Structure 1
Amino acid sequence: MRKYTCPCCGYKTLDNKPPGTYDICPICFWEDDWVQFDDPDYKGGANDPSLREAQRNFQTIGAYDEGSLKFVRKPNQDDEKDLEWKPLNWDN
């Protein structure tokens, strides 16, 4: 089955093509949200931190936020990182 790229962590874990599927990534626990995909600085909706903050959090703690740590898993040999995915600029 084809998997689609999570906009937060960059792994191909989503069952449906983003944005706006509301699929939840098992690696970072980000819930795909159209509004936050379109406006990566928006806080609210499906996820409390913005997409930009969530990407930074994933790089530092391994989840989109601290409260989600108990729900995530580490990537394994079956998980594919999208080589074309790039995180947002964190300086904004």
Structure 2
Amino acid sequence: MEKYTCPCCGYKTLEEGTRDSYEICKVCYWEDDFVQNEDPDFEGGANEVSLRQAQRNFKIYGASEERFKDSVVEPSLGGYEKDENFKPL
């Protein structure tokens, strides 16, 4: 099954490539949200923090928010690959 890139962490974890699936990434715990994909500085909606802030948080905590750091899966343990074309905001 093809996996799609999470807009927060850049790992191929999502099963739907629609950008509005509300799937939760197992690597960073970002919830895929159309509004936040269109406006990466929007805070609220499916995620409390903006996509831009979630990307920063992922670098620091390994999760989209510090409170999720114990809920995420290590990419190598989950068999998730980084999208080589992913570029953070």
Read off the aligned partner of 1:81 and give its amino acid letter: K
Instruction: Measure how far apart 1:24 and its partner are.
Output: 0.5
**In 2, distance between residues paired with 1:18 and 1:62?**
24
**Residues of 1 paired with 2:69 and 2:40: CA distance?**
21
Alpha-carbon distance between aligned partners in 1 of 2:20 and 2:38, rounded to the nearest angstrom? 10
Task: Specify every segment of 5 or more residues in structure 2 that has no aligned partner in the other structure, as ranges.
Answer: none
Runs of at least 4 residues off by over 2 Å: none
Conserved 8 A contact 1:4-1:18 = no
CA offset digits 1:30-77 (Å, max 9, x no partner): 000000000000000000010000000001110000111121111116
Aligned length: 88
Which residue type is aligned with residue 71 of structure 1? S
User: Corresponding residue for 1:43?
Assistant: 43
Unaligned runs of 5+ in 1: none
- Comparing 31-40 with 75-84, greater Cα deviation is found at 75-84
Write the letter of the residue equivalent to 2:55: Q
Relative to the length of structure 1, the TM-score reads 0.92
3-state SS of paired residue (2:70): helix
Residue 75 of structure 2 aligns to a residue whose secondary structure is coil
| Matches of 1:45 and 1:71, distance apart in 2 | 20
RMSD: 0.9
Deviates more, 1:65-74 or 1:79-88: 65-74
